[in-house]
Amino acid sequence: MNGLEPLTGELLALDLLNTLPYTAQGPPVDQLADEPGLLAWLALEGERLPGAAGAREATPDDLAPVHAVRAHAALAVAAARRGERPPESALRGLNEAQRVAPAVRYAEWNGDAVVVTSRRAGPLGQRVAAALAEEVAELLADPAVARIRECEAEDCTMLFVPAHPRRRWCSAERCGNRARVARYYRRHKGEGPDASG
């Protein structure tokens, strides 16, 4: 883990992509590299992933389908952000993930009215991958895909859709504060009684 909690609260498809952040020190750090990482991320995402909320166990087999969807999503979203056609293999991979664990709309009586919920069958990894693939497909078809930005912090590659056109960082608390501190330091470097050496 890179020392930072996963960034959550963006579109779920972007939250998935943001689980593989690059660092200034080197290659990306996979926040879903193992079962505990996957379970921790699912706990953070809460009810946004029906059928995965409250998951207490994961197996190594649960990681592969989630990693595959993330890889397909990265290729497809990168192309769509540039206004290009996503690779056919990425689209096919997203569709296949959904086909493996399709959502079924269940109608049930809750005592007062009929409620409808979506459920997926299969192992945790396949259910999560299918739900994430569906979210990525929705994002690819949404005009918001053209507004996705990468954090402007020098050592951050997190993605977000800005609610405000002036938003520059993935998070004001993370990269925004670091940028402000660095800017303050640069402005005041060389000033003060210790500057003369």
Distance, CA of 16 to CA of 73 (rounded, Å): 9
* Cα-only R_g, the chain: 20
* Nearest Cα residue to 69 out of 148, 136, 1: 136
12-148: which CATH architecture?
Answer: Orthogonal Bundle (1.10)
Domain boundaries, the chain: 12-148
pLDDT per position as a tens digit, 6-40:
778 899 999 999 999 876 667 788 999 999 999 99
pLDDT per position as a tens digit, 97-128:
999 999 999 999 999 999 998 889 999 999 99
